[in-house]
Amino acid sequence: MYSALPAKATFHDLLLACDRDLADQVRQGRCLICGSALHSSNYPRKPRGRLRKLGAEHDLRFSLCCARHGCRKRKTPASPRFLGQKVYLAATIILISILREGATQKRMRRLTQLIHVDRRTVDRWRTWWRDAFTAMPFWQVARASFMPPVAEHRLPTAMLERFSSNSLTERMVALLRFLGPISGGQAQAL
Ligand SMILES: [Zn+2]
């Protein structure tokens, strides 16, 4: 059932809508430095692991910057679609990592073909969840919100299982929003 999700355009549209909401929230605020209004200043990314049928707006990282000339301080909202500096979409990284745990070889092969991910990349992600993610300050704080504690060697699956909803899409979106703080923010400035 996991393998069907990244192939659905509706799932990606939902994530895009989440990103828009987050960007709108930030736009209603003011520049932290000078208090001026914030304007849209999106920038293109070239995410891998995306479906070909998705429109160009799916490659935009929503961002804002101060409207005042001479300040132009950038503010980039959290994004459920992009995971930090990684070139693959967050949903892709999570789903492939999850699939790796239970999928048959055949299904795994079909999925990696669909979104063009090779075996080495999948192994790298596994190492990332195990070593880099668990060492992040974000996780040091966030893991306390899971009771009983999640098994770190089973990330990200162990996290996804804790979001209660019958719909996999909803659970996935909840997880991606939960991971929002590590999606870049200020550090993502161009
Ligand atoms: Zn400013």
Looking at the DSSP assignment, which residues form a beta bridge with residue 75?
64
Tell me, in angstroms, the distance from the centre of ligand 1 to residue 39's CA. 10
Q: Encoding tokens for residue 111?
A: 């999925």
Q: Is the dihedral angle over the CA atoms 54, 182, 43, 65 positive or is it negative?
A: positive
Write phi, then psi, for 12 (nearest 5 degrees). Answer: -70, -35
Q: Flag whether the pTM goes above 0.75.
A: no
Q: Mean pLDDT, 10 residues at a time, over the chain (190 residues)?
A: 62 81 88 95 85 86 94 88 76 77 71 73 84 90 92 90 82 85 51
**Dist. CA 24–CA 22, nearest whole Å:** 5
Tell me, in angstroms, the distance from the centre of ligand 1 to residue 26's CA. 14
Q: Encoding tokens for residue 155?
A: 């990330």
> 3-class DSSP state for residue 81?
coil
Tell me, in angstroms, the distance from the centre of ligand 1 to residue 17's CA. 27
Q: Which residues, 6 or more positions from 39, have their beta carbon under 8 angstroms from its beta carbon?
A: 64, 65, 66, 67
CA distances (Å), origin 150, targets 122, 127, 144, 178, 184:
22, 17, 9, 15, 24
pLDDT at site 190: 28
Tell me, in angstroms, the distance from the centre of ligand 1 to residue 57's CA. 27
* Residue corresponding to tokens 């790796």: 100
Q: Encoding tokens for residue 140?
A: 């040091």
Following CA atoms 153, 127, 52, 76 in sequence, which dihedral angle do they give, to the nearest 10 degrees? 90
Tell me, in angstroms, the distance from the centre of ligand 1 to residue 128's CA. 35
What 8-state DSSP symbol labels residue 181?
Answer: G
pLDDT at site 90: 80
pLDDT at site 189: 29
Tell me, in angstroms, the distance from the centre of ligand 1 to residue 59's CA. 26
Tell me, in angstroms, the distance from the centre of ligand 1 to residue 105's CA. 52
